[in-house]
Structures are given as structure tokens and as C-alpha cells.
Chain A
Amino acid sequence: EVQLVESGGGLVQPGRSLRLSCAASGFNLDDYGMHWVRQAPGNGLEWVSSIFWNGNSVDYADSVRGRFTISRDNAKKFLFLQMNSLRAEDTALYYCVKETLYKRGLFDSWGQGTLVIVSS
């Protein structure tokens, strides 16, 4: 069974940094592209970032480009999101998401999320 367990969220002041982690199990992480998707409280879903199976290609939403960095450690079965220069509008539940093998951007497994609150 696929399991994605996020950690690292919390309360942080504007301008500070936070690093999210996602522990993956139940599948071969190094076969799959992975993503972070966020959901602001009471709001809809926003794709944040993605990384190829081998880490050689990454993408970011315009809203986080230049501030967030996605990375992965396939050997240790982890996905990461380094978030710098955090803003109030980054407050959200951050989901670690696995994409399918046959089409990029189709999300077939989600973690339960880790909550990031940016506030002074």
C-alpha cells in the first residue's frame, strides 16, 4: 500500500524558512515523479512544485518560484520542500503527492498533509 507521510509544518514568522519532508513507502519512489500541492484553509487546491523521478527536472508555480526548492532522496525514500522567504499567503496544508507512471500531472496518491502557518 502506498503511504506518504508529511512532516515539518508549523508556525513560522513571515520571511523565515521551513523545510517539509515526505516519507514514501509501499512503492518504488525512484520510478515516479512527485509533487507538492497545497490547500489554504477553506480554499481549493493549488499545485506548488514537481520533480522528475531522477531529480533532473523541477517545476514551480509562479507564486513560489525563487523561494521554494523541491528535492528528493530516492535512496532514503524522501521528498523535500525547502520554503524560504515565507509569506502569509503561503499558509496552507501541504500535501505530498505521487503522480502516475503514464501521464505527468495526474495524481493518484496523496499524503494527509502538513500544516504551515505563516504569521507574526
Chain B
Amino acid sequence: DAGVTQSPTHLIKTRGQQVTLRCSPKSGHDTVSWYQQALGQGPQFIFQYYEEEERQRGNFPDRFSGHQFPNYSSELNVNALLLGDSALYLCASTQRAGAKNTEAFFGQGTRLTVV
């Protein structure tokens, strides 16, 4: 049973460019959440997708956008990259219709470096 998979694992982009990160949730999960984790910090919530729609959003600018596909996989897009966007981007999957105490499973993350 595959867990949460993210691609790519590492990425280097130039300031001003655009980037797309991908996530496949754990089998049986239908909800995907994205987090940004700066070095030495805890993960910060970006947004959550369920039924192909953005359901919740954290305090991130519109440069951060996403998409969820019918197979529950998800993409995170960041436009006009800034140096401050350099971070580990984590994807977490949960089962929306599950019990109240459903566990979030995390992927290994994508390390984005903006130069």
C-alpha cells in the first residue's frame, strides 16, 4: 500500500519563475493538504483540497494555487517565485469522511530552492 508520494524530491528555480509540485495521496484518502516548512520552523498550512475544490486556505498570497484531480492527486503551483519561497513543501492526505480522529499521513516533501 503506497503512502503519500511527492515529486520531485528536490527542485532549484530562479526568482520570478513558476513551479509545480505534485502529490499522490495514500490509498483510500480523498483530501489533500499542502504545507510550507521553512528551515527550522514548523509546517505552515497553505490550503486543502477535497472533491477537486479548495476548501480551506491559510495566509498565503494568490501566487500559491492548487488543483485536485478526479483520482485525488493534487498539484501546488507557485508563480513569480521569491527567494523567501525556498522551503520544504509537504503534502498530507486524510480521509474526509473518516472518523473525527483520522490521521494525516505526510509525504517526504519537495525541497524547493529559489536562487
Do A and B share a complex? no
**Chain A residues within CB distance 8 Å of chain B:** none
**Chain B residues within CB distance 8 Å of chain A:** none
